[in-house]
């Protein structure tokens, strides 16, 4: 029995995604990477349109990267930040984005402040509004955190932040591919996302959305010969689209796989995917809640596909390993990756199960039975 409950970690790519990657690697070994890439030039270019459709943006607002973190860091680096400026971030922020915020704020003399959560566990929009003033240059918001089912209210946060002219950077790492995530609907300025999680793409892939109005206020600094042109002995000219945030070299096989994964998700429909994931996650939460000695740890008014829990008297790594022996794949999320949220809730670690639509309802039930054997 293999029951895969780790699409929040690194999911199982559909067959056509893996086939695309394998075929391109094979082609590179036959004719070389440059010629192989040229053969797929049109498909690579079409990828910007595919991601624009997926993310509710225009093709010239899309950049491809090698991870969500790279996308996030690249955008963050380009947001001007001076002494006395403020950066706000969500309490469920991922360490990979909280650390660079704290580090850069200290370097430039800016002020980084976490926005508290409300009683449901989501970002407190009322508290955010009280904190916002014209010194706030950026609000960083995690859409779906790495360690609970929570979905943060991105639209409300974006509207409030825009009232004071702050940019909003949405970490959509855990939402992309499991629900519709559209810049036009959410009203956010910047979106970072990964390929390997719910989108079912290859590892080492990610994408960034930079809306045009936001782009005018940003200062890209990590520039190479792809993002800019050397037009005179002392002159460079930057690209005017979001590809100014890319660099030249890329894993083309992985990029093609990523585009195939996005096409696959769009063909199934993000609304359909969201319903099916919610069904599996809801079934899992209900099953686990009914088990003695098991506590579901998810928070939020609106919950998505990540299901977290603890088992009385059994460490999270131990639960993971015992489940692995029964063919059930889950992971552990520890306090260090979402320090503020976990500390606030008094948790060191949780077991994280993230069932995608390809997990059958009976498999969810079998996973619950396997957890009940750990809890005994
Ligand atoms: C996984 C994750 C990231 C980082 O994504 P990478 O592709 O590993 O860079 C960022 N934010 C959240 C909430 C995540 O779960």
pLDDT greater than 90 at residue 84? yes
| 199 and 281 assigned to the same domain | no
pLDDT greater than 90 at residue 109? yes
Domain containing residue 301: CATH number: 3.90.1150.10
Question: 245, 268, 291: which is the final residue of a domain?
Answer: 268
Q: What is the number of alpha carbons within 13 Å of residue 125 lying toward its C-beta?
A: 12
Q: What is the pLDDT of residues 229-245, one digit of tens each?
A: 999 999 999 999 999 99
Question: 234, 268, 302: which is the final residue of a domain?
Answer: 268
Give percent of the chain with pLDDT exceeding 70: 100
* Protein residue with its CA nearest to atom 3 in ligand 1: 173
Q: What is the pLDDT of residues 186-206, one digit of tens each?
A: 999 999 999 999 999 999 999
Ligand 1 is surrounded, with C-beta below 6 A, by 67-69, 94, 96, 142, 145-146, 171, 173-174, 194, 206
Atom of ligand 1 nearest to the CA of 144: 13
Atom of ligand 1 nearest to the CA of 8: 15
Q: How many domains does the chain have?
A: 2
Question: Rounded distance, CA 148 to CA 316, Å?
Answer: 14
Mean pLDDT of 202-224: 97
Q: How confident is the model at residue 52 (pLDDT cuts 50, 70, 90)?
A: very high
Looking at residue 1, its pLDDT comes to 61
Q: How confident is the model at residue 249 (pLDDT cuts 50, 70, 90)?
A: very high
Q: What DSSP character marks residue 13? A: P
CA distance to 1, 47, 89, 301, per residue, from 181 (Å): 33, 17, 19, 18
| 21 and 145 assigned to the same domain | yes
**Ligand 1 centroid to residue 30 C-alpha, Å:** 34
| 284 and 243 assigned to the same domain | no
Looking at residue 289, its pLDDT comes to 97
| 274 and 214 assigned to the same domain | no
Q: Is 200 exposed, middle or buried (0-12, 13-18, 19+ CB in 10 A)?
A: buried
Q: What is the pLDDT of residues 157-183, one digit of tens each?
A: 999 999 999 999 999 999 999 999 999
Question: Rounded distance, CA 189 to CA 322, Å?
Answer: 43
Mean pLDDT of 317-321: 98
Looking at residue 182, its pLDDT comes to 98
Q: What is the pLDDT of residues 322-335, one digit of tens each?
A: 999 999 999 999 99
**Ligand 1 centroid to residue 235 C-alpha, Å:** 36
pLDDT greater than 70 at residue 115? yes
Identify the three-state secondary structure at position 234: coil
pLDDT greater than 70 at residue 309? yes
CA distance to 5, 160, 161, 207, 260, per residue, from 202 (Å): 17, 35, 34, 13, 10
pLDDT greater than 90 at residue 278? yes
| 254 and 289 assigned to the same domain | no
| 76 and 196 assigned to the same domain | yes
| 150 and 289 assigned to the same domain | no
Atom of ligand 1 nearest to the CA of 70: 9
CA distance to 108, 121, 223, 299, per residue, from 118 (Å): 30, 5, 40, 10
Q: What is the pLDDT of residues 21-35, one digit of tens each?
A: 999 999 999 999 999
| 181 and 287 assigned to the same domain | no
pLDDT greater than 90 at residue 376? no
Mean pLDDT of 273-301: 97
- CB count in 10 Å sphere of residue 73: 19
**Ligand 1 centroid to residue 291 C-alpha, Å:** 30
Mean pLDDT of 330-343: 97
**Ligand 1 centroid to residue 229 C-alpha, Å:** 31
> Mean pLDDT over all residues of the chain?
97
Give percent of the chain with pLDDT exceeding 90: 98
Q: Report DSSP letters for 170-220, one per residue.
A: EE-TTTBTTB---HHHH--SEEEEESSSTT---SS-EEEEE-HHHHTT---
Of 9, 194, 196, 202, best ligand 1 pocket probe by most atoms within 8 Å of the beta carbon: 194
| 142 and 235 assigned to the same domain | yes
Question: 233, 268, 303: which is the final residue of a domain?
Answer: 268
Domain containing residue 103: CATH number: 3.40.640.10
**Ligand 1 centroid to residue 69 C-alpha, Å:** 6
Is residue 144 a contact partner of residue 175, using CB atoms and an 8 Å limit?
yes
Looking at residue 86, its pLDDT comes to 98
Q: Which domain holds residue 65?
A: 15-268
């Amino acid at each position: 029995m293999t029951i895969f409950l780790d699409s929040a970690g690194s999911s199982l790519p559909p067959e056509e995604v893996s086939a695309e990657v394998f075929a391109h690697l094979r082609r590179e070994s036959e004719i070389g990477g440059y010629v192989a890439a040229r053969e797929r030039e049109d498909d690579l270019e079409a990828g910007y349109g595919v991601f624009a459709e997926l993310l509710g943006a225009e093709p010239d607002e899309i950049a491809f990267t090698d991870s969500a973190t790279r996308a996030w860091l690249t955008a963050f680096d380009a947001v001007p930040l001076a002494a006395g400026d403020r950066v706000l971030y969500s309490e469920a922020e991922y360490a990979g984005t909280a650390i660079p915020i704290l580090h850069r704020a200290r370097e430039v003399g800016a002020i980084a402040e976490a926005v508290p959560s409300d009683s449901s566990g989501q970002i407190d929009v009322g508290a955010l509004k009280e904190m916002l003033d014209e010194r706030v240059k950026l609000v960083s918001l995690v859409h779906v955190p790495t360690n609970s089912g929570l979905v943060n209210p991105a639209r409300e946060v974006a509207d409030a932040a825009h009232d004071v002219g702050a940019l909003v950077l949405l970490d959509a790492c855990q939402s992309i591919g499991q629900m519709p995530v559209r810049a036009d609907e959410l009203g956010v300025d910047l979106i970072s996302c990964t390929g390997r999680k719910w989108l079912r793409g290859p590892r080492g892939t990610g994408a960034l959305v930079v809306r045009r109005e936001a782009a005018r206020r940003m200062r890209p600094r990590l520039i190479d010969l792809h993002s800019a042109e050397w037009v005179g002995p002392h002159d460079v000219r930057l690209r005017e689209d979001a590809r100014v945030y890319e660099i030249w070299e890329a894993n083309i096989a992985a990029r093609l796989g990523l585009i195939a994964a996005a096409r696959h998700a769009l063909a199934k429909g993000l609304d359909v995917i969201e319903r099916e994931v919610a069904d599996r996650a809801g079934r899992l939460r209900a099953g686990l809640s009914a088990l003695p000695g098991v506590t579901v740890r998810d928070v939020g008014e609106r919950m998505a596909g990540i299901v977290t829990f603890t088992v009385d008297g059994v460490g999270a790594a131990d639960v993971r390993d015992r489940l692995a022996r029964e063919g059930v794949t889950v992971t552990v999320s520890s306090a260090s990756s979402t320090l503020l949220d976990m500390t606030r809730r008094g948790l060191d670690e949780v077991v994280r199960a993230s069932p995608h639509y390809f997990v059958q309802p009976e498999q969810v039930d079998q996973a619950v039975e396997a957890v009940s054997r750990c809890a005994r």
